[in-house]
């Protein structure tokens, strides 16, 4: 097969790359499973946005602090300064974020003249390690809301071909440049997709772990290929463990209990129903505290209580979590649920520059596959969707020859 650009993965990084590329480009997108089995669909909490110009310093510091100051400052700056543009792109594509209770549908925003800013219209929540609310959300299925709307837009594009159940097995290399990929379909047939540019948006490494919130087919394929060709990798040991997944003895993917649950006031309790940690500390700190408590008590989980949030907040903000827990036998409006840490996110990956270019010509990487340095050693909650979208757009602009409007600045 022939294409101008081939994209590996149909999560937000891959989909937004396709939407940002010129419509006269022939694009082929592949995914190992069905179109909706990407971790982007699973993101519960939300997506960060620079709330206003006075929020820049605190947002930057929150991201750096969560990442143990091992973040690439230039990338953090690009993400934050691009955030409002990206959120507006999503709104234009039909993404429905939660609006404020005071929002006036007829007059744009209560008390405004009709030219309302995003922060005047939409509701914001706060999650662990954030110094203020700056997270837009859609109930507790923000990832599904964003990814499904982007997928619907891509399906309308006549220049994009989508191939499900198709696995990348290698890349095509000529004169040390990437010229496409080798793939295998579900029948075992192998074929080549030749392309001027290739974008890896193939997700994380959760499929390599016994306990993970990721889909099991996400096994870090791009990492193995990178090792084969000497493509630069970075921080392969930077793996984030999410502190609160629903404890179960059943095999398979662990159900995530969003960071925003604790951001709204849920508390962690030990077997004696005593609180033992500040729930709004960074994820790695909370995870360490949970593991220490489990070891001290000889238990295989701790407890999370959402009761103080109240039934109205739980049903309005966290309906998916409520329903899933109910199916597992727990009514979160009345009782605690057992939670345990599990592998969640990969901050390392294929090294890329500020335009998402890898160390091999004509090969780009975006989303969890890549390492642009935004997250440092530990990702700040709800930065992942934003980071994927910002750097997917930068990759598309670089490929198409368009200028990236937000420039890298020295910090």
* Active-site annotation, residues: 283
User: CB-based contacts of 264: which residues, under 8 Å, 6+ apart?
Assistant: 125, 126, 309, 313, 317
Yes or no: say if 233 and 223 are a contact pair by the CB < 8 Å rule.
yes
234 exposure class (CB count in 10 Å sphere: 0-12, 13-18, 19+): middle
Instruction: Compute CA distances 188 → 3, 8, 10, 166, 225, whole Å.
Output: 22, 18, 21, 9, 19
Three-state SS string over 298-367 comes to CCCCEEEECHHHCHHHHHHHCHHHHHHHHHCCCCCCCCCEEEEEEEEEECCEEECCCCCECCCECEEECH
Q: Rounded to whole angstroms, how far apart are CA atoms 348 and 368?
A: 8
Instruction: Compute CA distances 330 → 166, 188, 191, 209, 263, whole Å.
Output: 38, 43, 48, 26, 21
Q: Rounded to whole angstroms, how far apart are CA atoms 406 and 54?
A: 18
């Amino acid at each position: 097969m022939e294409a101008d650009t081939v994209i590996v993965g149909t999560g937000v990084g891959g989909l937004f790359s396709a939407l940002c590329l010129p419509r006269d480009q022939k694009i082929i997108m592949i995914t190992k499973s069905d179109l909706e089995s990407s971790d982007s669909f699973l993101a519960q909490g939300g997506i960060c946005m620079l709330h206003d110009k006075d929020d820049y310093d605190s947002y930057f510091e929150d991201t750096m602090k969560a990442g143990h100051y091992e973040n690439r400052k230039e990338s953090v700056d690009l993400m934050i300064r691009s955030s409002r543009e990206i959120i507006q792109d999503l709104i234009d594509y039909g993404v429905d974020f939660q609006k404020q209770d005071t929002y006036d549908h007829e007059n744009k925003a209560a008390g405004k003249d009709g030219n309302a800013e995003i922060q005047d219209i939409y509701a914001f929540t706060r999650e662990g390690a954030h110094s203020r609310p700056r997270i837009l959300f859609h109930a507790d299925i923000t990832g599904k809301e964003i990814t499904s709307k982007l997928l619907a837009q891509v399906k309308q594009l006549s220049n994009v071909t989508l191939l499900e159940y198709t696995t990348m097995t290698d890349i095509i290399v000529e004169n040390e440049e990437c010229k496409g990929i080798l793939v295998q379909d579900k029948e075992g047939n192998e074929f080549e997709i030749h392309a001027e540019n290739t974008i890896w948006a193939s997700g994380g490494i959760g499929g390599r772990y016994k306990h993970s919130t990721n889909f099991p087919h996400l096994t870090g394929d791009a990492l193995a290929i990178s090792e084969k060709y000497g493509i630069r990798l970075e921080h392969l040991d930077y793996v984030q463990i999410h502190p609160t997944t629903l404890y179960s003895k059943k095999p398979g993917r662990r159900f995530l209990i969003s960071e925003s649950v604790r951001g709204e006031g849920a508390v962690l309790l030990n077997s004696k129903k005593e609180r033992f940690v500040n729930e709004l500390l960074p994820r790695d700190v909370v995870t360490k505290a949970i593991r220490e408590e489990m070891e001290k008590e000889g238990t295989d989980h701790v407890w999370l209580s959402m009761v103080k949030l109240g039934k109205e907040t739980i049903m309005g903000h966290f309906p998916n979590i409520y329903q899933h827990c109910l199916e597992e036998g727990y009514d979160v409006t009345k009782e605690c649920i057992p939670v345990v840490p599990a592998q969640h996110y990969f901050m390392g990956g294929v090294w890329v520059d500020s335009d998402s270019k890898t160390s091999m010509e004509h090969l780009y990487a975006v989303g969890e596959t890549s390492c642009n340095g935004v997250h440092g050693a530990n990702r700040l909650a709800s930065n992942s969707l934003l980071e994927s979208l910002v750097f997917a757009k930068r990759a598309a602009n670089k490929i198409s020859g368009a200028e990236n409007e937000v420039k890298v600045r020295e910090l």
